[in-house]
Every structure is written in C-alpha cells, then in structure tokens.
C-alpha cells in the first residue's frame, strides 16, 4: 500500500507544477499606498468610538439609579458583580446581584449582597456596627471575677478585653468580699477604657476573751479557736459560744456588719450547776427553793454551786417539811423526805354493821367507828358481799369531826332503782313499771256472778313489766293504720281521735305492738310469717299485749292488797272510777248500772278517769 501512496503523491506534484504561469511586474505607487494606510486606522477608531457611544447610551438607558445610604459615611465602598457607574451620590447599575463592601475607621467592615431590581430609583440603607471597646479592669484584691451582663470574661487584672459597645452591667466578685456592681457605657470603636475597684471585706474581725482562758470559741457550732482569739466572721446573724470543761456554756447571738471590727467584753465562765434530786412519800409534793416554787416530787433541780438553799416540801393534808441543802459543781445530791400527815377524825356509820371501810383503796376496818384520816380529799368506800359498794369523797377537818353514813343497798335494790319507773313510747304512750307478786286469780264458787271459767288459780308473776296508763287512742293507732275506723253505736261515734281504738283484732293489736317496737328500736316481741303472728319471743324487750294474769294483777293491785273490783270491794262503783254501762248509756244498751253515771253514753276519751 505504501508504494501506491508514493505514486499518487508524485502525480499530484507533477500536476501542480504544470499549473504555474508567468505574470507581468508593475512597480508599487508609494503615495497611494501611504494614503490607504492612513485611512484604515481612522476608520477603526471611529468605529470603536461609535460603538462605545452606542454602548454607553444603551447602558444609560438600561441601567437603574441606585442610592447607597450608609451610616456613618463609609470611607471606602467596593461593588463587585457588574458594571456600576458613580454619578454624584448615586450609582448606575443594571438589574442583578452585587457584592457590596463598605468600611470606616473604628467600625466593622460591612459585607452585604444587594439585589438591584427593575425599579428606576432604588435605595439601600446600611448601618455600620462599631468595633468593640477595649476594657481593662484592676481590683483590690486581685483575682476577682469580672462578669459583663452576667457572663464571666476573666479574672483581674484584665488588659484590653474586647467588650460589645453600649450600656453594660459590670459585676466584680471575689471570695470573702462583698460584690460590686457598676454600670459602664462602653464607647467601642476600639477605644480603651479602664475600671479600678477596691472590694469591701464581707467579714468583720471579732475578738473573744474569757476567764478562765483556753476555752473553745465556736461560731454556729463550729470550733474556730481558743480564747483569747480574733476571728474573721462573715456578715449576717450568727451564734457564738464559749465552752470549757467544768463550766457552763456561754452563748450569744449577734448580727455581724461587714468591715466593722468588734471586741466582745470578756466572758466570765460560771461553773457547772450541781443537781439536787428530791423525792417524797407520798409523791407529788410541792417544792420551793428559797421561797420560789420549782415543781412537784419526784424532782431534779439544777442549782448553781457554792450556795446554801432552803427547801420546803408541802402537800395538802401533810405537815410542811423544811431542809437546808448545799450543792457542789457537777455533783448530784439526793434528798428523800417522808411527809407527816395532818390527821382529823371521821366517823363512819354503816348498815349493815359488818360492812368494810376502805380509804384510797386501803382497808381500814369494819364500820361504825372513828377513823383518823389525813386532811386532804379521801376516796372512801364501804363494801360488803351481796351489796352495792358505797362510794364518796371526804376532806377531813381538824376543827370538825365529820360523819359518813353508808346504808348499803342489795344488788337487787340497786337494780330496781336504776330502772326508770315510767317510759314514753314513740306515739306518746306513758308506761308505768310494775313489780308483780304471787296472787290468786279467779273467783270463789260462793261469790255471786262467778262464771265457770273463773276458777281460783295461784299465779306467780316473777318478771317486772311496763303497762300503759291509758288505752291506745284512735289517733295513735291511725299512725300505724291510717284508714282505721272504730265506727259508732246507734249513731254515737266511737271514732274520735281521743277515744280508745276499737274494732281491732288480736292479730292487728299484736302487729301494732311490733310496729311500735320498730319505731323505738326495740326487739320485736311477736314472730310474724306472711303477715300473720305465729309466736311470741318471751325474752324480747319490745312492746306486747299484757297477759291475762298481768292484766288481772294490775287491775286489782293496791298497796293494801288485791281488790275485788278496781274501785274497791263493794258495788256500785264509786264516783269517777271508770267508764261503765251506766245511766248515761241507758238509751244505747239495755243492762246498765243504775247507781252510777260517768256522763259518757259511749267510750270516754282515754285517761278520763286517771
């Protein structure tokens, strides 16, 4: 292939050499050439000037007027990012972003990006920030903390520390010295300012001395030295104490003002007190020392040593006991005193005569004799098995023999006396206490009017009971059964509120008793199933109906024995003895007691004949 390339090159060379033709020669015209050479630069300059003018005109018409307002006036202004032309106080600048730098002596260099918009006139305002001021601080003592607006900047002495210009709070603090505060206007602009302070000590020197010397001096319970000694004590309220073995501790509270030395007057320490331990029989005796009351026995007293003390012990009912006592420092003395009682005569008469007499729990002997007792309040008891103990208090008197009479009551007597003789029910019934006895119920065959079922029967009622003094009235019963009506007899009403409730079955009466027991919070006397009375709880203390024997005994009872009739032993009834079928009821009922008139045709109001 290389041979073919060489042949091609030779052919091209031969062809070119055959194309060269001879040309005629004409000499150069030097003047014409010079004229043409001058015309070419002039035209070039003209084109350039014209182009520049066109460009300037285009720039002027496309640029915007920009005012840079910088406070204070900048000494140097540098704008980068495009062509800008300064024309007086303004600049011609096309739209776009520019980097602005401005500086003035004492101020921080401003570096800012500005964005020129399409507005024809634009203003950019800037304020140059002052450079920090240079602050120097010296203090006495040195190495004090310096804080500017609460921020620590170093320890004194400080030399030309940069501080932000403006009003600054300068705090100078040092351990054991009072802090100082200063308000300083920092000028900035790299100007130098200085501050010199002398801190006030936060303590005062206190001088302590004592007799004897060598005592520990403590401030707020911390031992600081031994007398004589001068201590630095911080400002504030403190407690100083001076202590030495064998002596009382001296204490004093004081307010320390800063930088105001004080000398505490010499402290004379007192020896430790001695102890006097005083006991007496009996105890709780009053004790005076040199005429001043100090307490009751048993008593422990702290007394200054080296003095004679006069002690008196006294107790009501006992003779005054006087003693002289001398105590030694830090030594315990003991004084034990047996008080002699002041006695007086008390006669104790007892029934039964063999009752036993006790005073303050101590047995003194049988009754019916005279006892010598201390002249103070005595707790006296008279006891005997089977009887309730008699208790009283007595204060014997020397000038008067007193007598105590104790009539003992059996336990049964006391029990009955403790029971209320009359009680009142929820509806106002008054019930009287009865203590029944054995009696014979019924009537003899020879007695006129005796019926077949009135057989003489011996009855022993051993349980006391309360029985209402009046019948249950309609008003009372209607509190249990509001719809109850007692009806009438031949047009004569039995339904008045004060009239006794009638037309009441035994079942209804028993249920009423249970209701009344519930109202008074008593155990129910009757057992009820399906609203029917099915039994009686004989031990229950609730209300119930009296038994036949209880009613018979209560109706016939009198202090002189059982009556034949409620009013006595003979007919007719005595005046105002009860509500019977008498002359007043003649037109209502056929058989009447003609010799009696209660003035009521039908039932009388309850309690009318009490």
> What are the structural domains of the chain?
58-127 (2.60.40), 133-198 (2.60.40.1120), 203-268 (2.60.40.1120), 274-338 (2.60.40.1120), 343-415 (2.60.40.1120), 419-563 (3.90.1580.10)
357, 350 contact by CB (below 8 A): yes
Q: CA-CA distances (angstroms) from residue 39 to 36, 49, 509? A: 5, 16, 159
Strand, coil or helix: what is 474?
helix
101 or 479, higher pLDDT: 479
* Out of 5-14, 200-209, 350-359, 505-514, least confident range: 5-14
* Out of 280-289, 336-345, 451-460, 561-570, least confident range: 561-570
Max mean pLDDT among 60-74, 435-449, 481-495 falls in 481-495
- Banded model confidence at residue 127, pLDDT cuts 50, 70, 90: confident
Q: Residue 564: what pLDDT?
A: 85
> Can you list the pairs that 234-243 forms with residues at least 24 positions away whose Cβ atoms lie under 8 Å?
234/176, 234/202, 234/203, 235/178, 235/202, 235/203, 235/204, 240/206, 240/208, 240/264, 241/217, 242/208, 242/210, 242/215, 242/216, 242/217, 242/218, 242/267, 242/269, 243/215, 243/216, 243/218
How far is 417 from 408, CA to CA, in rounded Å? 13
Q: What is the pLDDT of residues 500-516, one digit of tens each?
A: 999 999 999 999 999 99
How far is 4 from 285, CA to CA, in rounded Å? 159
344, 318 contact by CB (below 8 A): no
- Banded model confidence at residue 297, pLDDT cuts 50, 70, 90: very high
Residue 158 pLDDT > 70, yes or no? yes
45 or 346, higher pLDDT: 346
Look up residue 513 and give its two tokens: 């008793």
Q: Residue 56: what pLDDT?
A: 67
Q: Residue 33: what pLDDT?
A: 55
Strand, coil or helix: what is 425?
coil
How far is 144 from 429, CA to CA, in rounded Å? 98
- Banded model confidence at residue 26, pLDDT cuts 50, 70, 90: low
Q: Which residue has the tokens 């403790």?
A: 418
Mean predicted confidence (pLDDT) in 463-469: 94
Max mean pLDDT among 77-91, 300-314, 330-344, 522-536 falls in 522-536
Q: Which of 181, 231, 178 lies closest to 201 in space, CA to CA?
A: 178
Q: Residue 483: what pLDDT?
A: 96
Q: In DSSP terms, which residues pair with 468 in a beta bridge?
A: 431
How far is 311 from 306, CA to CA, in rounded Å? 16
State the average pLDDT for the chain: 87
Residue 423 pLDDT > 50, yes or no? yes
603, 470 contact by CB (below 8 A): no
Residue 589 pLDDT > 90, yes or no? no
How far is 589 from 454, CA to CA, in rounded Å? 25
Q: Which of 423, 421, 422, 417 lies closest to 517 in space, CA to CA?
A: 423
Look up residue 226 and give its two tokens: 């031994």
Q: Residue 95: what pLDDT?
A: 83
216, 223 contact by CB (below 8 A): yes
Residue % of the chain over a pLDDT of 70: 92
- Name, in order, each residue with C-beta under 8 angstroms of 431's C-beta and a sequence gap of 6 or more: 422, 423, 424, 425, 466, 467, 468, 469
Strands 343-351 and 402-407, sheet pairing? parallel
Q: CA-CA distances (angstroms) from residue 382 to 99, 280, 355, 374, 596? A: 123, 29, 6, 18, 57
């Amino acid at each position: 292939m290389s041979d073919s390339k060489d042949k091609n090159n030779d052919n091209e060379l031969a062809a070119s050499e055959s194309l060269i033709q001879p040309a005629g020669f004409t000499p150069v015209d030097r003047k014409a050439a010079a004229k043409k050479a001058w015309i070419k630069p002039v035209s070039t300059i003209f084109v350039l000037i014209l182009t520049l003018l066109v460009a300037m005109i285009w720039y002027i018409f496309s640029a915007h007027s920009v005012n840079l307002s910088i406070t204070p006036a900048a000494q140097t202004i540098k704008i980068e990012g495009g062509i800008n032309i300064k024309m007086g106080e303004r600049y011609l600048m096309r739209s776009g972003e520019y980097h602005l730098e401005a500086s003035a002596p004492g101020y921080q260099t401003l570096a800012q990006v500005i964005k020129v918009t399409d507005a024809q006139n634009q203003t950019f305002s800037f304020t140059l920030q002052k450079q920090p001021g240079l602050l120097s601080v010296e203090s006495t003592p040195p190495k004090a903390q310096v804080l500017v607006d609460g921020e620590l900047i170093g320890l004194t002495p400080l030399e030309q520390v940069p501080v932000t210009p403006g009003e600054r709070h300068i705090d100078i603090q040092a351990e054991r010295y009072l802090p100082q505060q200063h308000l300083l206007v920092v000028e900035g602009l790299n100007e130098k300012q200085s501050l010199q302070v002398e801190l006030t000590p936060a303590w005062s020197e206190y001088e302590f001395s004592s007799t004897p010397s060598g005592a520990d001096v403590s401030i707020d319970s911390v031992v600081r030295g031994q007398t004589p000694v001068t201590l630095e004590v911080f400002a504030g309220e403190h407690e100083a104490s001076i202590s030495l073995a064998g002596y009382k501790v001296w204490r004093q509270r004081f307010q320390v003002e800063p930088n105001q030395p004080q000398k505490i007057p010499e402290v004379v320490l007192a020896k430790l007190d001695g102890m006097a331990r005083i006991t007496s029989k009996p105890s709780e005796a009053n004790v005076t020392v040199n005429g001043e009351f100090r307490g009751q026995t048993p008593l422990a007293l702290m007394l200054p040593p080296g003095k004679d003390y006069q002690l008196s012990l006294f107790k009501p009912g006992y003779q005054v006991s006087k003693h002289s006592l001398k105590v030694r420092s830090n030594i315990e003395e003991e004084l034990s005193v047996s008080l002699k009682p002041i006695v007086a005569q008390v006669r104790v008469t007892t029934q039964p005569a063999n009752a036993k007499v006790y005073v303050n729990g101590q047995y003194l002997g049988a009754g019916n004799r005279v006892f010598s007792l201390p002249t103070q309040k005595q707790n006296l008891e008279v006891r005997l098995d089977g009887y309730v103990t008699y208790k009283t208090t007595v204060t014997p008197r020397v000038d008067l023999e007193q007598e105590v009479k104790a009539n003992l009551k059996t336990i049964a007597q006391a029990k009955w006396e403790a029971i209320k003789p009359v009680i009142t029910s929820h509806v106002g019934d008054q019930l009287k206490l009865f203590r029944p006895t054995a009696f014979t119920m019924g009537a003899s065959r020879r007695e006129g009017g005796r019926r077949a079922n009135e057989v003489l029967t011996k009855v022993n009622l051993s349980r006391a009971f309360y029985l209402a003094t009046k019948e249950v009235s309609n008003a009372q019963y209607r509190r249990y059964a509001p719809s109850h009506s007692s009806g009438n007899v031949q047009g004569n009403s039995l339904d008045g509120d004060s009239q006794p409730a009638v037309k009441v079955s035994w079942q209804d009466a028993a249920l009423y008793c249970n209701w009344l027991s519930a109202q008074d919070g008593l155990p129910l006397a009757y057992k009820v199933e399906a609203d029917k009375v099915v039994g009686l709880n004989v031990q229950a203390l609730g209300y119930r109906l009296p038994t036949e024997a209880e009613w018979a005994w209560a109706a016939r009872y009198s202090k002189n024995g059982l009556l034949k009739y409620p009013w006595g032993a003979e007919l007719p009834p005595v005046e105002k003895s009860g509500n019977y079928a008498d002359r007043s009821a003649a037109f209502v009922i056929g058989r009447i007691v003609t010799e009696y008139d209660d003035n009521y045709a039908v039932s009388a109001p309850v309690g009318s004949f009490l």
